[in-house]
Amino acid sequence: DIQMTQSPSSLSASVGDRVTITCRASQDISNYLAWFQQKAGKAPKSLIYAASSLQSGVPSKFSGSGSGTDFTLTISSLQPEDFATYYCQQYNSYPWTFGQGTKVEIK
Amino acid sequence: EVQLVESGGGLVQPGGSLRLSCAASGFTFSSYWMSWVRQAPGKGLEWVANIKQDGSEKYFVDSVKGRFTISKDNAKNSLYLQMNSLRAEDTAVYYCVRLGELDYFEYWGQGTLVTVSS
């Protein structure tokens, strides 16, 4: 199975900060990488697919990059509605697997 | 607008069975792969199963193989998850998810809670 490791597990940031979350795959997954946002008590929401493609309707402050084993999600200017937990997920091969999540909290 | 509405969750004893349903609307259901993803209380996300548009291909995480079955009824725009021999570790919110044309989790339902406890 492909292991997905996110870092950090949590972070504290201020409104307006630029935030970067890293996701590392245990083997090459090409660009079969997605990012999701989940707010407390809510269903996850798709943000990025194919490592860097923005899901329709998602604001451009979110961006993704990377290929192979190393990927990043960047939020260019953190807003109050962005405080949430973020997950990466590989869909290169079964079983599809998620990272453990990164909780973004208010500083 | 894509809508996915899960139902069928509840409290069940260990060893019992439960059938989850997902009613889909706002898109051509027969044209998309569908998935179930679960989340144990306070934990992360775990992919459970996928099914191809016509039901001809199905994939499962190892922990549910032989116990869970995924199916879809394209005439009723519905996805199902039959869960047998349930264990405490199956306790989770179960999400119905539509895959995008590039095979990623595109749209999520609101989830239904399954609790396995005596």
pLDDT tens digits, one per residue of A16-75: 999 999 999 999 999 999 999 999 999 999 999 999 999 999 999 999 999 999 999 999
Nearest to A91 among B45, B103, B111 (CB): B103
> Is A45 within 8 Å of B2 (Cβ atoms)?
no
- Quick one: which of B30, B39, B40, B62 has its CA closest to B49? B62
Mean pLDDT of the B101-109 span: 93
Q: Can you tell me which residue has the tokens 């099914």?
A: B51
- Put simply, whether A69 touches B (Cβ < 8 Å) is no
Binning pLDDT at 50, 70 and 90, where does residue A15 land?
A: very high
Of A38, A43, A98, the CB nearest to B109: A43
CA atoms within 13 A on the CB side of A42: 12
Task: Yes or no: say if B91 and B40 are a contact pair by the CB < 8 Å rule.
Answer: yes
Nearest CB to A97: which of B47, B95, B111?
Answer: B47
User: Would you place residue B101 in the very low, low, confident or very high pLDDT band (cuts 50, 70, 90)?
Assistant: confident
- A67 min Cα distance to partner chain B (Å): 16
Distance between B82 CA and the closest CA of chain A, angstroms: 19
User: Is pLDDT above 90 for A107?
Assistant: no
Task: State mean pLDDT over B86-93.
Answer: 98
| Kind and range of the H or E run holding A98 | strand A97-98
Task: Show residues of chain A in contact with B36, CB under 8 Å.
Answer: none
CA distance B78 to A95: 24
- HSE value, Cβ hemisphere, 13 Å, CA-based, for B47: 28
Chain B residues inside the 8 Å CB shell of A57: none
Which DSSP helix (H) or strand (E) runs through A42?
Answer: none
Q: What is the pLDDT of residue A106?
A: 86
Q: What is the pLDDT of residue A27?
A: 98
Instruction: Report whether pLDDT(A96) > 90.
Output: yes
Q: What is the mean pLDDT of residues A65-86?
A: 96
Percent of chain B whose predicted confidence (pLDDT) is above 70:
100
Q: Check whether A90 has a pLDDT greater than 90.
A: yes
